Amino acid sequence: MSQYQPLVELEQRKNPIQKGTKLARRIVGGRYSLLRDIRLLLVHAVELPWIVFPLKPEDDSHPELWPNSYPSYLDYLSVVAQMIVPTERKSVSYGTLAVIPHDYVWPQEKRQSKWFFINGICTSPAMALLEAKEVAATFQRPIHLIHTPTAGVVRDLWNAITARSLRKDGYLSRPAFNIVKNALLSHEKVVLTTYSQGTIVASYIVRKVLKDPVLRLHAHKLEVYCIGGAADSLHIDHALSAEHGHSVPYVEHFANGKDFFARVGVLAHYHDTSGAIFVIPDKKGHMLNSHYIKGIGRGDYCDQRSRLFKYAYGAEAGPHDYIPTDRRR
């Protein structure tokens, strides 16, 4: 059992009355954020059908909702069933499972960096592994999976709303924060590739890192890349950024202009979001494998200028490959 599992189980065992009272207080305190988000949902509802379409836009992609993407039809049926059936499930990996790209050659000298992937909502173990494999293949590095398990689409959406609008994000984000904390203390560079709901988790992690007096000394090691971001904010530290000559932590965002979750997330809150935001205005779709990762690997979003692109297919980003914090596309 992971050392982080008890944190999740403790959260789930809290007294129902205590949980209800605390949630009611959060709703009252966060009512303006909730009303803001309801308005955004209504305004951008027209983009909802394009979350999953087109299902297979590129021949060499491995779409999450395409049966042939999985080793067996049983895995695919599990993916669909876990989206629909509402129940609590355990994470398949609290950063312990590393996905190794095919034909990966381990460097003779140990790299002092560690890469993580944090998934979005409705993600079963099979889907999380499929997405992590695609990230590993794109960047030709071992990717450590931080899996947020699905409790079914309705409960996942509720958890995402309360985490984002009411800042009730400990259940989702505390295990991930502890993993990143340990990595920052033991590595020269920590890279978070985050997708959809994972960007809400990333926002929480950044807030906690910058508030911690010890971790602040290591915050310059952290790089956060947000894909199809659903978060409503992500802030850097301007004093640390001035000290190190680049934003701390370093952040970039990638969004499709017709992606519903990006429209109600990063694209609706760019004024409250630090880091370069790269957008393809007319592109549809929200799925990581189907609609994002191939284009990111080719540099489609950024004209091959972003720091994340510099890492594609095993390359290394250099000390001057940071995008200024006020850069937008």
**Confidence check: pLDDT of 3 > 70:** no
Integer Cα distance of 101 and 83 in angstroms: 27
Can you name the residues that pair with 278 across neighbouring β-strands? 254
pLDDT > 70: percent of the chain: 88
- The two tokens of residue 258 are 């017709």
Integer Cα distance of 275 and 225 in angstroms: 9
- What pLDDT is attached to residue 328? 45
- What pLDDT is attached to residue 274? 96
What is the per-residue pLDDT across 187-229, written as a single tens digit (0 to 9) for each?
A: 999 999 999 999 999 999 999 999 999 999 999 999 999 999 9
**Confidence check: pLDDT of 131 > 50:** yes
Cα end-to-end distance, the chain, whole Å: 44
Q: What DSSP assignment string belongs to 172-222? A: HHHHHHHHHHHHHHH-SEEEEEEETHHHHHHHHHHHHHHHSTTGGGGGGGE
Integer Cα distance of 130 and 144 in angstroms: 13
What is the per-residue pLDDT across 141-162, written as a single tens digit (0 to 9) for each?
A: 999 999 999 999 999 998 888 8
What average pLDDT does this structure show over 7-30?
62
Contact 180, 144 (CB under 8 A): no
**Confidence check: pLDDT of 247 > 60:** yes
Contact 247, 322 (CB under 8 A): yes
Please report which confidence band the pLDDT of residue 16 belongs to, taking 50, 70 and 90 as the band edges.
confident
- What pLDDT is attached to residue 163? 85
What average pLDDT does this structure show over 18-40?
73
What is the per-residue pLDDT across 158-189, written as a single tens digit (0 to 9) for each?
A: 888 888 888 776 667 889 999 999 999 999 99
- What pLDDT is attached to residue 327? 46
Integer Cα distance of 12 and 29 in angstroms: 23
- What pLDDT is attached to residue 68? 95
Helices 170-186 and 5-12: crossing angle in degrees, nearest 10, is 160
Can you name the residues that pair with 145 across neighbouring β-strands? 97, 117
- What pLDDT is attached to residue 329? 44
**Confidence check: pLDDT of 90 > 60:** yes
Contact 197, 121 (CB under 8 A): yes
Contact 255, 292 (CB under 8 A): no
Characterize 256-294 residue by residue with b for buried, 16 or more Cβ atoms within 10 angstroms of its Cβ, and e for exposed.
bebbbbbbbbbbbbeeebbbbbbbbeebbbbbbbbbbbb
